[in-house]
Amino acid sequence: MLGPLATHAEPHAYDLCEVHSERLSAPRGWEVLRLASDLSDRGPSDDDLLALADAVREAARPPAPATPSPSEQGTREVQRRGHLRVLELDDSADY
């Protein structure tokens, strides 16, 4: 069955461009059903615009300050590479 592009991931379906969908043929004894759809550009929907606005708001928020875990109290960050950190233990802290 041929129809409009998928709106969500479907593991057993594949999206084809217009050229390839026109050239698609089925094995002998099978039939290709082409769903007629309105292909006019409708522009973004309200859901699309709300999702975009939410993403912009989320990106504009300042990052939350990280609170040290109890195991990190009494330590000092010496070096950072990506998500890895080198911590130096504070000798005066009680463990």
Task: Give whole-number Cα distances, 34 to 12, 28, 53, in Å.
Answer: 17, 17, 36
Low-confidence residues of the chain, pLDDT below 70? 1-4, 37-42, 66-74, 91-95
> Would you say the pTM of this structure is higher than 0.85?
no
CB 71 within 8 A of CB 89: no
What is the predicted pLDDT for the residue at 12? Answer: 77
Q: For the chain, what are the domain ranges? A: 1-61
What is the predicted pLDDT for the residue at 78? Answer: 82
What does the alpha-carbon distance between residue 72 and residue 20 come to, in Å, rounded to a whole number?
A: 58
What is the predicted pLDDT for the residue at 40? Answer: 63
Per DSSP, 2 falls in state B
